[in-house]
Structure 1
Amino acid sequence: MELLSEYGLFLAKIATVVIAIAAVAVLIVNLSQRKRQRGELRLTRLSEQYQEMQETMAVSLLDAHQQKLWHKAEKKKRKQEAKAAKAKARESHQGAGKPRAWVLDFKGSMDAHEVASLREEVTAVLAVAKPQDQVVVRLESPGGVVHGYGLAASQLQRLREKQIPLTVAVDKVAASGGYMMACVADKIVAAPFSIIGSIGVVAQIPNFNRFLKNREIDIELHTAGQYKRTLTLLGENTDEGRQKFREDLNETHHLFKDFVKRMRPGLNVEEVATGEHWYGAQALEKGLVDKIGTSDDLLLELMKEYELVGVRFAQRKKLLDRFTGSAAESADRLLMRWLQRGQKPLL
């Protein structure tokens, strides 16, 4: 029995030492990561990817003898291209070669947290873009919180203000806040059955006051400022609060319409700012988009005159977040989102 007790104590000491070493190692790695960038910018040569795809398909249709001849000719061609590229690099001619089409992807969620990556991508493009370049944003979003999508639209406005041609391609949906972003573009290309529009504002909030009263639970809400809270989850809502809440929604809708009108002056905003959405072909008739087509066809067409370069800023996750999955933080965020949703109108 004494032997087992000593053995258990020995194992406990070993476990303590191992845990302490692991904790120190995690702390050191975490501190070292803090010194690094908060993310990583990744560029993808989309033109090369499309060309490789086309070549693969073309070669696959040839017989064995033809494939051998093709590979031989391709080897010679690439050798000549490499030699020409070296000569061009030595000459250091500014602006030599094809202009570039910078391709960004934005797949927006309700809280539009993806804007953190978008702002980095736009900043990176602005740092190197030439006057003959342009930007394509492949956009997919059903909308969300006003301040999030307002900031996202402002990031795209930075390109417009620098007079860099901007095209937004919508394959699935650009509604509400998503359309707020899209309308900043010089040209909007939408797939035939993509969902476009929904220029409106919505907010809803459950109220549990009667439920709590039936169980004799009192809720106290103290505010400084008459309209610090208009509608609440748990307290008793008033007609005055409801009226103020509706006024705020209407004001937000008015700002939304004014923004769309400034970005697309030829659009009859009053006709389309009803909160309705339309499919791509219908949206073209309404003037909400400029052309029907998919992002794939758009990029293939651009590839004839531009070098396509994909730009993506990948957020770096903290080491502790990778281990824990940020469960507690996610739970807190979800709770706060529900509590605040009634105070945050959605585009």
Structure 2
Amino acid sequence: MDLVYEYGLFLAKIATVVVALVIVISLISNVAQRKKHQRGELRVTRLNEQYKTMQEEIAVALLDTHQQKQWHKEQKKKEKQEAKAAKARAKRGESAPSGKATLYVLDFKGSMDAHEVASLREEITAVLAVAKPQDEVLLRLESPGGVVHGYGLASSQLQRLRDRNIPLTVAVDKVAASGGYMMACVANRIVAAPFAIVGSIGVVAQVPNFNRLLKRNDIDIELHTAGQYKRTLTLFGENTEEGREKFREDLNETHQLFKQFVQTMRPSLDINEVATGEHWYGLQAQEKGLVDEIRTSDDLILQQMPQKEVVSVRYTRRKKLMDKFTGSAARSLDRLLLRWWQRGEKPLL
């Protein structure tokens, strides 16, 4: 009986050690994974291959059963030959024979705070590291605008491509307004869908004030500043006419900088005509010189595929559960603000 008891105790100790080792290994693995994904991941997708696969799937679906079997038989033979040739090239240290230029496709779906610029920065850095003189970049842009400093930085990232003489095309399928257009105008060419919203070269700021509500409830707010214009308008204090005037002056200065930037990027524009804060649909925007061509990004990509290797480049970060929740809430707020903005500007179809 004692022998059985001691043997059981021995097994329990072994099991405890094994469990402890598993826990330690799991912790080390999690830390390693966290470090690995701390900076994010660059995803590169060959769009030519995706399109070719889609074409083949549709073509095969239209064949009868006998033809489908024959096609699959020939396809397996072809794939085997290609794999054999690729293996032979690899042994000789040769790369795949392709003299085509590359079209790098980037996506920017901007929010009010333009936090997506962090990924855009990494994507452009990656493209600049490998781009050849004959390569081009296509940015599929969608943004109603937002904070000045965020979209100013996004525009500066696109300027890096122009500084390296890499042709940049911006395609607007839905909306590129205000800060979105600030980004778009950096491009060598702007392509827009017929009813894409473009323009809104203006600056807006709205500040609620609760001072009278607080006074009615005998609540005092003290605001201490050093510097005459450290705070012009406040949420809770009593605003002055001098503060309002300074606030409007700052808005006008920002608008002037915005106009100068657009004029520098697109010198043929009549800036005083288009910098009124209004927006236009694609066809109207083309007439005013805000865009160069009416076309969707899909048509543009399909047109380039026979001549170029079309590659999608995306930089993504692994999000924590809380980040996913707050990100979803922020996207919902962005959509709500965009809906209000559209309703206030023009009727919806």
Residues 183 and 163 from structure 1, CA distance in 2 versus in 1: closer, same or farther, beyond 3 angstroms?
same
Does 1:43 find its partner at 2:44? yes
Deviations 1:85-109 (A, max 9, x none): 4566546479943211111110000
Question: Could you say which residue in structure 2 is the equivalent of 1:107?
Answer: 109
1:70 aligns with 2:71: yes
Mapping for residues 1-347 of structure 1, pairs under 5 Å: 31-33=31-33, 35-36=35-36, 37-86=38-87, 90=92, 92=94, 96-317=98-319, 321-322=320-321
Deviation at 1:58, TM superposition (A): 1.3
Partner Cα separation in structure 1 for residue 221 and residue 257 of structure 2 = 35
- Give me the TM-score of the superposition, normalised by structure 2: 0.81
SS, match of residue 278 in structure 1: strand
RMSD over equivalenced CA pairs, Å: 2.6
Q: Which amino acid is the alignment partner of residue 301 of structure 2?
A: L
- TM superposition shift of 1:270: 1.2
Quick one: which amino acid aligns to residue 35 of structure 1? K
Change (3 A) 1:72 1:27: closer
**How far apart, in 1, do the equivalents of 2:85 and 2:24 lie?**
53
- The 1-side partners of 2:322 and 2:201 are apart by 41
Instruction: Note the C-alpha offset of 1:63.
Output: 1.5
* 1:173 match: secondary structure: strand
Q: State the Cα distance separating 1:255 from its structure 2 match.
A: 0.6
**Which whole-Å deviations, capped at 9, do the CAs of 1:48-75 have from their partners, x for residues lacking one?**
1111111111111111222233333333
Distance 1:82 1:174, change over 3 A: same
Query: In 1, distance between residues paired with 2:321 and 2:39?
Result: 15
Alignment deviations for residues 192-240 of structure 1 (CA, whole Å, 9 cap, x no partner): 1110000000000100001111111111000011101001100010111
Q: Give the distance between the partners of 1:250 and 1:324, measured in 2 at CA.
A: 36
Distance 2:67 2:96 in 1: 40
User: Is the contact made by 2:89 and 2:96 (CA closer than 8 Å) also made in structure 1?
Assistant: no
How far apart, in 2, do the equivalents of 1:324 and 1:134 lie? 34
Q: Tell me whether 153-162 or 29-38 shows the greater mean CA deviation.
A: 29-38
Contact 2:86–2:96 (8 Å) recurs in 1 = no
Aligned-pair CA distance for 1:44? 1.0
What is the total number of aligned residue pairs between the two structures? 305
Q: Name the CA distance, whole Å, in 2 between partners of 1:94 and 1:325.
A: 40
Give 1:80 deviation, angstroms: 4.3
**Amino acid of the structure 2 residue aligned with 1:64:** T
Q: CA deviation at 1:29?
A: 6.6
Any idea what SS the aligned residue of 1:73 has?
helix
- In structure 2, relative to structure 1, the CA distance for the partners of 1:28 and 1:313 (3 Å cut) is same
Identity in percent: 73
Q: CA offset at residue 244 of structure 1?
A: 0.6
Q: Are the structure 2 counterparts of residues 241 and 27 from structure 1 closer, same or farther at C-alpha, using a change threshold of 3 Å?
A: farther
Show structure 2 runs of 5+ residues with no match.
1-22, 334-349
* 1:305/1:324 CA distance change after superposition, 3 Å: closer
- Shift of the alpha carbon at 1:25? 9.6
Task: Give TM-score scaled by structure 1 length.
Answer: 0.81
Tell me whether 251-260 or 68-77 shows the greater mean CA deviation.
Answer: 68-77
Q: Which one-letter code corresponds to 1:50 in the other structure?
A: Y
Cα deviations by residue, 1:18-60 (Å, 9 ceiling, x for unpaired): xxxxx99998677545533421111111111111111111111
Against the structure 1 CA distance between its residues 324 and 116, is the aligned structure 2 distance closer, same or farther, given a 3 Å change threshold?
Answer: closer
The amino acid that maps onto 2:122 is E
Measure the CA separation in 1 of the matches of 2:244 and 2:323: 41
SS class of match (2:298):
helix
Deviation at 1:326, TM superposition (A): 7.5
Query: What letter matches 2:213 in structure 1?
Result: F
Q: What amino acid is aligned across from residue 43 of structure 1 in structure 2?
A: V
Distance 1:95 1:217, change over 3 A: farther
